[in-house]
Structure 1
Amino acid sequence: MTGRGTSPVRQDPSAEPATVDYVDDPEFSPPALTVICAWCETVVSGPGDGPVSHGICRACACRFLERLPLAYLEAIADADGTVTLFSGYRFRLAEVRQDGRRSAHPGEGFP
């Protein structure tokens, strides 16, 4: 990972790319994170001894997609028929219910 910021949308065209130097020395590196799902509090990764961060687990991510209209999902799907979420999870459109009803996973923390 280079740590270089390259988004043209967020940078002035004349701006130099940002560079971040990562420290691999355990004495100076931050402690490992524990990432928990912000919806159901399942541990997503870790556990580390350091601070806690929030993400989304695969089950809650799927339930999130189940609530979106099929037309929208088709519009954002890749050519292979998959949708990639901000979390990095990839789902085939066929994995996600498309009938517009609430998830069939009651009581699992996702509102």
Structure 2
Amino acid sequence: MAGFLVIVIEAPCCCLFIDFVQNISDWVEKRPYWNRAAFYVAIALPAVILCPGLSSIFGSGLIFTTGVIYGMMSLGRKASPEEMRTNAAVFTSPSQSSVPSTNMQSSLVNNAQPFSFTGPPGFDSNV
């Protein structure tokens, strides 16, 4: 059943003999990626739970992987190196004190301390 749903959503041309398949595919295409990711992960799990055989794990694993890929697509593209450097420079401005905060609202990034085992790294990561 899960495999049929994936084919209906991803490749409606394989099911042209069923009249409502194109409508379902068009409706799903309008949804955001995270909806598809959650749907694929949700339909992949019951088969593995109910029948943990090799074929069920492989088939549901492929559907689960498709859900993970859609989840990664919903996060968006990685920022450019220049944008990451400017964002890192904003968070490490000299106006912040070097003493870690004990406030419950403080974040781990603000409390991060530099460390080194044998010396500075061979490259500058600008972090």
> Which interval holds the TM-score relative to the shorter structure?
under 0.3
Greater C-alpha Rg: 2
Higher helix content, 1 or 2: 2
Tell me the TM-score normalized by structure 1. 0.22
Higher strand content, 1 or 2: 1
Tell me the TM-score normalized by structure 2. 0.21
